[in-house]
Amino acid sequence: MESCCSFKALVGGVCGYDPKDRKHDSKIVPLLSCDKDINHHKSLYKFTGPEDEVELILCRAAKFTESKSLSSMTICQNHQSKLGIGWSRGSSTRCRVLEEISYHGKEKGVWPKGV
């Protein structure tokens, strides 16, 4: 039986190893043991708020209030990477609005002519 972390129920996805990790280590650790430095990540993406990796992960999982169950929560390497400092905005060259409602590229644009 495959073991799952607490974040599979919160955000979905697959529990397992961090795709960026060459060792493919898929251990599950207590959430409170996450202690990576997030200062560079915060300055890179220009945001404030979370003070440590645990707060950052909880914010990305939409858990904005601390609960008593925090000490019993666990996280796998994959969710830690995707919700922690391994998170990225994705390609900035692609439009994130669904094609069906954006109508991008449907008609050829015509620049206004100078008078």
Q: What is the pLDDT of residues 33-90, one digit of tens each?
A: 999 999 999 998 888 889 999 999 999 998 888 788 899 999 999 999 999 998 877 6
pLDDT at 1: 42
pLDDT at 75: 96
Cα-to-chain-centroid distance, residue 6: 15
Instruction: Judge whether residue 107 has pLDDT over 80.
Output: no
d(Cα 79, Cα 99) in Å, to the nearest integer? 29
d(Cα 108, Cα 97) in Å, to the nearest integer? 19
pLDDT at 51: 93
Higher-confidence residue: 65 or 94?
A: 65
Instruction: Judge whether residue 8 has pLDDT over 50.
Output: yes
d(Cα 40, Cα 52) in Å, to the nearest integer? 12
The single-letter code of the amino acid at 42 is K
d(Cα 80, Cα 30) in Å, to the nearest integer? 11
Instruction: Judge whether residue 93 has pLDDT over 80.
Output: no
Element holding 58 (H helix, E strand): helix 53-60
